[in-house]
Structure 1
């Protein structure tokens, strides 16, 4: 007596949960790290930055909004592991005290400086192969799709957080990145940044997300610094007999997270 032949029918109810519909937000197929921005987490598969995959960030200027967008996740990744955050080809030197004040210690940063595209790609691959590295941030404006695919494969093999920064002029070009974002200053409100999701495992998101470009602490410190500068200008411009009273004693140290930058962590005042 022979064995019964397998049924040609598929249990649709059993298999339905394994099928991803293109008009719905997909589930993460690997670990994620929360972005620290609730609005953004709600629009990402799994609710965070994908681990073991490339996230591509497109910007008009290479230094804009980097720390505002990524700092919460980097702080968490470093706290949960023991390795550094590797910066490859960063446009400006990060100012450690500013980042340390927000939870990212100076000793957790490793800055690789090189203007050569090939050297940056090599350094990025080596960093991704290091099991102790918490995250890799790479500025690769000249990288070709084949080179990006190699980095995507390296990130997948070693389950690393990988962020690649490129010009927003590349928005229409093909990319192997699992997640692709365009980040820009909000025209209506300087306190916000527009984050548009160009590519994700789910339907397109036509309306950009408006995320805060500053923490409440940074906003209050910036306002305090502006008030202090205004008082100093009054002291200089006013005649001696009507000079403004001296402000209350305060110790404020101005620091630049990215030298020459003009945004939030790029330019802020922090109480000493």
Structure 2
């Protein structure tokens, strides 16, 4: 009986997934830039042609740490920012691979206009990705964005406050993101991100992920710099 069941499950279409298993990715995905996070996402990355929601606590703006690696590699077209609460600092983004000529910032305070601009951007052939800060927003409005993202195969992120956790959403992926708690004797941990998967195509993720905020190359450079500084202090102390 078990062999028959396993055979039947194996023959299911890739779009069908079991609740106790992480879904595959019949559609394309884009790696997040963090192997720990990729391992917990269906297909191993951000879904293309689908809505991803990122929820954050009040006053927290960790979206660039989380999304920048993928936005920098998502293509050569425009990356549209709709309703960003703070002006993007272009030189810092360019230093991490997101070229300034690709950025398009739509500064619109009204919710209805933000929704309209987001949908129009998704329908634009020259746009590779859309990042929209939307609040308040209803489930049916998000569904329109999900449909547009799927129709035009765009990378879509919607940023919302953490209080929206209780709201229904058509997003295929919902994440809560915030600063990780500081751990003793782990100085590199102080800039890490805590990520919880609120919704994904697969079993619930029972634990919080901790992602390094600094790129691996920067971590190595900082560590080498600290070692060199320590050696210099040792030499100075020896000469006193």
Same fold (TM over 0.5): yes
Does residue 40 (structure 1) correspond to residue 40 (structure 2)? The answer is no
Distance in 2 (CA, whole Å) between partners of 1:160 and 1:58 is 20
Change (3 A) 1:17 1:64: farther
Q: Secondary structure at the match of 1:55?
A: strand
Deviation readout 1:182-236 (Å, 9 max, x if unpaired): 0011112422110101100000001111001222565667x98xxxxxxxxxxxx
Within 2, Cα distance between the matches of 1:164 and 1:149? 12
User: CA-to-partner distance for each residue in 1:52-81, whole Å, 9 max, x for gaps?
Assistant: 000000001466111111111111103xxx
In structure 1, stretches of 5+ residues that fail to align are 1-9, 225-272
Report how far residue 20 of structure 1 moved. 1.7
Q: CA deviation at 1:173?
A: 1.4
Question: 1:75 is matched with which residue?
Answer: 72
Q: Which whole-Å deviations, capped at 9, do the CAs of 1:4-35 have from their partners, x for residues lacking one?
A: xxxxxx99736634242100001112110000
> 1:65 aligns to what?
62
Q: Aligned pair 1:51/2:48, yes or no?
A: yes
Q: Is 2:151 aligned against 1:144?
A: no
Q: Once the two structures are superposed, what CA deviation does each residue of 1:78-121 show, in whole Å capped at 9, x if it has no partner?
A: 3xxx3110000000110111011111111010000110000000
- Cα contact 1:62–1:139 (8 A) shared by 2: no
Could you tell me how far apart the structure 1 residues matched to 2:67 and 2:44 are?
14
Please, which of 114, 139, 161 is the counterpart of residue 108 of structure 2? 114
Alignment of 1:89-238 (within 5 A): 89-188=83-182, 189-216=189-216
Contact 1:88 1:136 in 2 (8 A): yes
Root-mean-square deviation (CA, aligned residues, Å) is 2.3
Change (3 A) 1:69 1:112: same
Q: Return 5+ residue gaps in structure 2 as ranges.
A: 183-188, 226-240
TM-score by length of 1: 0.73
Larger Rg: 1
Structure 1 residues 12 and 41: alpha-carbon distance in aligned structure 2, compared to 1, 3 A threshold: closer
Matches of 1:156 and 1:110, distance apart in 2 = 21
Give the conservation status (yes or no) of the 8 Å contact 1:63–1:92: no
Greater helix share, structure number: 2
